[in-house]
Amino acid sequence: MPKFAAIDIGSNSCRIAIAEVEQHKLKILHEDREVVRLGESVFETGMISPDAMAVTIRALKRFQKSVQAQVVDRVRVVATSAMRDARNAGAFIGWVKSALGWNVEVISGLEEGRLIHLGVTTHEPGAQGRCLLIDLGGGSCEITLSEGGRIQEMVSLPLGSVRLQQEFLRTDPPSKDEQQQLLTYIDRELRKLERKMANQGRIPLVIATSGSAAALAEASSVGAASGKASAPKSKTKGQPKKQASFAARELRSAVKLEPLTASTAMVRSLADRLVSMPNQQRLLVPGIGPKRSEIIIGGAFVYAEILERLKLSGFRYSPLGLRDGILAQMLADTDTRASVHRAVEEERWNGVLAICKRYQVDLKRAEPLRNDALRLFDGMQRVHALDADFREWLAAAAMMHSVGKFVSHQGHNRHTHYLIANSEMFGFSPSQRAIIAAIARYLGKSRPDSMDRPMRNLTMELHTPVARAIVLLRLAVALNQDYAEKISFNVRVYPKRVLLELQVAKGSAELERWSLRKERAYFREVFRRDLAVEVL
C-alpha cells in the first residue's frame, strides 16, 4: 500500500501529513506543524530573511525524519503566499533542494483554494452540498463557493493574518489610525468578493479552515460555555498563569465534543475586543494562545467582514486544509478506482472547457480532434510507450490547440503556448500546464528543439515523451482537415511501420492523406518507423 506525504510551506507555519492508501481511501498516519513565520519578512521587505529560511529548513529536516521513518513512497512539497511574493524565493527553493532533495512547488492562490476545496469536500461531512469554504492563512485568504462537490466561484485575496499584521498593525494594541488603515484595506479587497458572491442566494453551510478559524471558533465556544463573550481583559490578581491556562484547557476539552462553531455576532464581538487588548491579554483568551495572539487581530476582522457582507450566520471550523487536498490529489493521480479520481478528472475537464469558452474555441471542431488524438494514443501504445498521464495531457492539448487564434492568427501556435502555460486551469499543476502547452505549441511547420523556451521549461527527461505526444497531436490535426468530411480510421502497428487505414462515408480523403504524408519525415525521426496511409 503506497504512502504519501504532503508538506505545506505556509506564510505562518509549515505542516506535514502522511497517509497510507487502504481500500482506495486515505488513512492518516502522522501529522505535525511548526510555526516558522516565513512571510513575516516578505510582507515587510519583499524578501525571505535568512533567519526565516533557516528556521523553515530546520522544520523541514524534522519533517524529513518522519518521512523516512514512515518509508513514504512519494512526497509533494507546496509553498503558498509568502513564496509567491518573495523576490528571493528561488534561493530558498534551491536551499531546500540541496538540503533535503525535495522540489518545492509554488502554487497560485486559486490552485491553493482548489486543493483546499478538494481536501474538505473529500472528507468533511456536509461539504458535498451547497457551502462556502473560507481559508485564511498567513498570507492570503481563499473563499470558495461549492455545490455538489464542484467549485462554482472562487476568490483569492491578499488578506492573510501575518500579512495584515506586518503591513498595518505595528503598535500593541493597534492605534486608531492603524485600525482605520486595516479596515480600509480589507474593505477594498472584499469588494472583489462581493462582486462575485453577493447575489449567490442562500448558503446553508460555511466551513472555515486554518489556524485563525480554529482560534476564533474555540474562543467563541469557550466563551459561550463559560457564559462570556470573550476572555477577561485582565488576569485575576494573584492567579497563577498556569492555573488560568489549565482552566482554559478544561473548557476547550468540553467544547470539542461538538464541532467548533462561531456565530457572526461572536466573531464581531471578538474582533472588537481583541483589537483593544495588548498581546499579554490576547494570549490569555482561551483557544488563542501565545503564537496566534500576535497575528489574530487582522484575521478576526477579515472573518467578521466576510460573514457580515455575505449575510452569513457564522461558520463551522474544520481541521482539514491544504495538506489534505494535496494527499487527495496524489491519491487521484495514482488510483483510478478511488472516488476522488473521478472528481479530479471532472474538475480538469471543466477547467479545459472553461479555457475553451474564454478563448472562443469551436467545440464542434475541438472534440472530434480530441477523440482522434485519444484513438491514436490507444492504438499506438506499443509505439509511443507513453505513461497514462500523457493520455490526459494530450486530450487537453487537443481541445486547446487553437486558443492562440483568439489573440492573432499570425503566430497563433506561440500564443497558444503562452495562454495554456499561464492560464489557471483547475486540476493541472504549473508543470502539467507546461507539458500541455508544449504539446500544443508545435503544429504546422515548427518542430520542438531542446533550446526552445517551451522545451527549456521542461526537464530533460520529458523532452522525448513530449515529442512523441506532439507527433500524435499532429496526426490528429492532419486527420481533421475538412470539418465537413466524416473520416474514421484504424491503426495497424507493424515492426517497421504504422499503417493508418482511412474510411470515408462520403467524399474523398485526399486532403487528409496529403496532410498525413507531410508528417512522415517527422514521424520517422521520432519513432524510427515508417508511416503508411491507405484509403479504403
pLDDT of residue 250: 40
Question: Could you tell me the sign of the dihedral formed by the alpha carbons of 146, 148, 149, 150, in that order?
Answer: negative
Low-confidence ranges of the chain (pLDDT < 50): 228-256
Place of cell 485575496: 157
pLDDT of residue 240: 39
Write the DSSP symbol of residue 151: E
Residues 6+ apart with CB under 8 A from 412: 402, 404, 405
- Cα distance between residue 315 and residue 208, in whole Å: 6
Identify which of 38, 42, 44 has the alpha carbon closest to the alpha carbon of residue 12.
38
Q: Which class is 125-319 in CATH? A: alpha beta
pLDDT of residue 227: 52
pLDDT of residue 246: 35
- Cα distance between residue 92 and residue 534, in whole Å: 56
pLDDT of residue 445: 85
Counting every residue written for the chain, the total comes to 536
Burial 423-444 (b: 16+ CB within 10 A, else e): bbbbbbbbebbbbbbbbbbbbe
How do the domains of the chain map onto residue ranges?
3-107+324-329, 125-319, 336-480
- Cα distance between residue 209 and residue 195, in whole Å: 23
- pTM across the whole model: 0.82
Query: Quick one: which H or E segment has residue 153?
Result: strand 150-157
- Cα distance between residue 271 and residue 265, in whole Å: 10
pLDDT of residue 503: 87
Q: At 142, give phi and psi (nearest 5°).
A: -110, 125
Residues 6+ apart with CB under 8 A from 94: none
* Region for 5 from its dihedrals, namely left if φ exceeds 0, alpha if ψ lies in -120 to 50, beta otherwise: beta
Burial of 468 (0-12, 13-18, 19+ CB in 10 A): buried
Q: 60: helix, coil or strand?
A: helix
Q: Which class is 336-480 in CATH? A: mainly alpha
Q: Indicate if 336-480 has the same CATH topology as 125-319.
A: no
Query: In angstroms, how far apart are the furthest CA atoms of the chain?
Result: 97
Identify which of 466, 501, 484 has the alpha carbon closest to the alpha carbon of residue 375.
501
User: DSSP labels for 301-370?
Assistant: HHHHHHHHHTT--EEEE-S--HHHHHHHHHHHHH-TTSHHHHHHHHHHHHHHHHHHHHTT--HHHHHHHH
**Residue 346: count of CB within 10 angstroms of its CB:** 13
pLDDT of residue 483: 63
Q: Which class is 3-107+324-329 in CATH? A: alpha beta
For residue 286, whether the previous peptide bond is cis, meaning omega lies within 30 degrees of 0, is no
pLDDT of residue 242: 39
pLDDT of residue 517: 92
